[in-house]
Structure 1
């Protein structure tokens, strides 16, 4: 059973952090393939992860045995600039990593609710548990698309048994989202939380304090004993 306190790894600069995290992920992939013949990574969107994926794409690994999916997604087509699936395709699925298999969360349908069944069926075909779930965190303490006050948050935190995805409408507006549920995020051997800046460091430290998950959803991964969590931070 992992310790309740996440392991904080602080770096002087973002370049060093990204390099070290890329090395860590490469080690996870290599070990998983050696042990089980395959690896599953759950990835997140964002600017810093994009830099990380660019670095990973140049590392020599058995990428043809690697499955990739996403922690969350805006309900937009992969060709949309806001799509996490599209970003991962552009930054990671090239060079040495071109042979990895990416399973996106966006399905047909005008809303996430219309596509949940199809997305859930695709995810069921992956080899869970994930070897790594990579997450970010917003200034409002959301992670994946678990937004405080978001429509659908309660269902995402406590879904029906076996449900891996939920539709979320952020309270602040913007596109509807689809997100892995709390049980799906914890269906992992390891979680890495990637954050940058002093503001998010303060949010993270507040989230470590006792309190409701609904107001700081990142607590869903910080306040649990099932999966070890490492926090990667740079100014």
Structure 2
């Protein structure tokens, strides 16, 4: 099965590649072009990315793009509630693989805050996100359970996070199958992004995407909340 075999709603654009490196390079070029366009229009650009291992090649390719990086603000769609020094920190991943060389001039707005509880940390992040301008480019990933960002099926705060009029920009979330508690941007913040991209690899992810297309219930498969215009999907086997 290939990405072209799936039937998506009108306005969803798919891009298939033979190899992960080809996907990373094409994605980096597309994101860089959108950031340049935003800078030309507004004098600045905002990029929000996801963590995990999958985007590392994309981060490294994007860091090599010729951009006025000092005019770019980078933030995260979600974060594990661990210190930046922790090996599972998404912020650390971005610093290590994206904010290198000329790209180190970009400003990073992290989500992690030390606090007495996850809820208190989320409230601190909520305050910090007042500095987050409208998102020009959003790059999401997807788990085999249909989660994206840290919008996990079964998490107590998921219904609130998925509300189109959710007043919060950040909510604490619980991941059912991994040890770390999470912080996530909420649906209205993410869905307001000018360019929305989902980058996935492997046949198993295509199967999940097909299930999300069939169910179209974001409470069971949160990724389905994003499957519609103007989503761009980048995939390779």
Q: When the two structures are superposed, what TM-score results if normalisation uses the length of structure 1?
A: 0.93
Report if aligned partners of 2:83, 2:114 keep a CA contact under 8 Å in 1: no
Indicate whether 1:118 and 2:124 are aligned. Answer: yes
Partner residue in 1 for 2:139: 134
Unmatched 5+ stretches in structure 1 = none
2:234 to 225, 229, 232: 232
Partner residue in 2 for 1:49: 55
Q: How does 1:59-78 map to 2 (within 5 A)?
A: 59-78=65-84
Tell me the C-alpha RMSD between the 2 structures.
Answer: 1.5
Partner residue in 2 for 1:22: 28
Indicate whether 1:153 and 2:158 are aligned. Answer: yes
1:187 to 187, 192, 198: 192
Q: When the two structures are superposed, what TM-score results if normalisation uses the length of structure 2?
A: 0.92
**Aligned partners of 2:173, 2:199: CA distance in 1, in Å?**
22
Indicate whether 1:107 and 2:113 are aligned. Answer: yes
What is the CA distance between 1:89 and its match in structure 2?
0.4
- 4+ aligned runs moved over 4 Å, structure 1: none
* Cα deviation digits, residues 91-130 of structure 1 (max 9, x gap): 11110101000101111213321122221121111221x1
Secondary structure at 1:45's aligned position in 2? Answer: coil
Unmatched 5+ stretches in structure 2 = 1-8
Partner residue in 2 for 1:171: 176
Q: In 2 relative to 1, CA 43–107 (structure 1 residues): closer, same or farther, beyond 3 Å? A: same
Secondary structure at 2:32's aligned position in 1? Answer: helix
